Structure 1
Amino acid sequence: MEDIFSRIRDNVSKVIVGKEEVIDLLLTSLAAGGHVLLEDVPGTGKTVLAKSLAKSMEFTFGRVQFTPDLLPSDVTGLSYYNQEKGKFVFKEGPVFANLLLADEINRATPRTQSSLLECMAEGQVTVDGETRILEAPFFVIATQNPVETIGCFPLPEAQMDRFLMKICMGCLNNKEERELIDRYINSEPLQTIESVCSLSEILELQKQCRQVYVHEDLRDYIVNLVQATRRTATTYAGNIGVVEGVSPRGTLALLRASQGYAMVQGRDYVVPEDIKKVAIPVLNHRWISVDSSEQQKTVLLNGLLQSITLPTEDWTRV
């Protein structure tokens, strides 16, 4: 399975300059069967990254540009009366795709945002009382701008908790920005890349992710870390506004992400570094807070990662 990750990573890297860590985290979420929220200012490559990933696999691609006047039926689809057939017919929305790009998701109203809850959590859509199963794999990449707030609706905690990870793109350094210019000056790489793996390979990859071995001590480490976020929320509530720790869904998310990241690194077992690598993108957005910043929560979480002792073991399967 390492070969699949290498093919996808190399293909996406033909379009995206740098961002190796972001690509690995996206592949981690894909392997774990989760969804990703990409958060950063406009122009950092969020949409291009999502399109590059979709084109690298034999995925059907759907895109929704979220706006304040967008309706839930614009996402999920709707039933309309077909005069020729003399009956109501269901027209599928863009959510019926293997990879859905929910662009600027925080610009839609909470009602429309919530139309994705069932899709993301259960892989199905219920319209007019009829439930339709989405084709697997189903992978949502949502984007949002953390700076602009006018005309935006912050995602509620229940919606945030459905994302396996929240990832920030970040800016390019001098060398990477020069490479960006050289690569795009005479061409458009996104138009030329082709699929490098099949849908069946991704499905098999997701099955194997569940089989990645997690040592008993590392299972305890995950539990202790999540429990510590709840104690910290109580302790620091008056100082930084964190009022609730990570939910049990977050515990399973950290487990799955650790397994996925181990696969991306070419291992069939998890090591402590896997958990520490995915802890912040998995857990940070799950802390329910009033007025604390992402940076403050990151500092707290880094402190918890360092404070919880972990014995040195052979982490391979026993």
Structure 2
Amino acid sequence: MISIFVAVTDFDWYQYLAAQPNLEEVNFWQPGGKTAFKALQPGELFLFKLHSPRNYIVGGGIFGHATFLPVSMAWETFTRSNGATSLAEMRARVARYRREQPDHRQDYQIGCRLLEQPFFFPEDQWIPVPQSWSPNIVVGKSFSANDGDGRYLWDAVQDRLQGQGLPMAAPRTTIDEAPIRRYGAPTLITPRLGQGTFRVAVTDSYGRRCAVTGEKTLPILDAAHIKDFGEGGDHTVDNGLLLRTDIHRLFDRGYVTVSGDHRFVVSRRLKEDFDNGRHYYELHGQTVRAPELPAAKPSATALTWHWDNRFLG
């Protein structure tokens, strides 16, 4: 069964993001950081419904990942894709929703629903809420896309995406295939992760610990691409390693790598070029921690690429 989640949001948030060109992802954040979001699986639709009295659905995106982040990291990772113009503005909004006084030293923990390939409808294409929508809904509601109001939403969204020529729109059925329904059965849409979602998904896949050292201090952990994005590497979790910042820099420059059997390897060039590196050579040969999920484990193809094309030997 394919699900759709309709979330309630502010008009200002929608209006700001709808005016931004070329967004590849957005962070639909919640001011609280305690309740895990489990309503969707990656590839299902997450839609935006404005607060009453604007009872319309005005856009959405493909659900990619859900997590909790300090507001500073959410801003650093997604900037304008948070629907705010600055960290100060975003922090003030979080404080207002929490009914607290803004404090620039407070790094609030917030809930983040990360959406790929976002879309926004002009006002003449806003979708009226389904008949089953209750005015008492504060956060949002799930629907099955296969029947009833969920199917109404699926078809209405597809109509608008077709009109915008967006690539995630489902193909229309022929008259012979479906005399009533305009589109085929709802299916998952493979989310194309943006840079920010890649960073967060890799961070979570590694349990927020450096794959080499086990370091857990979040501000100094980086999601490194194994195969450079500029060289054709993807924003996919299996093309990522979570590394301490200094190790990430050495990895990008080829002074360290990860072997096919997941061993940390340090180049002789580190000593030759800088007459230093003792702390890194102490890590040489140790096993690199891998994510628990098989799909998130480092790609053998990507590791081979880094060994052949970046590692200095």
Q: Name the TM tier (shorter chain).
A: under 0.3
Larger Rg computed on CA atoms: 2
TM-score (norm 2): 0.26
TM score, norm. by length of structure 1: 0.26
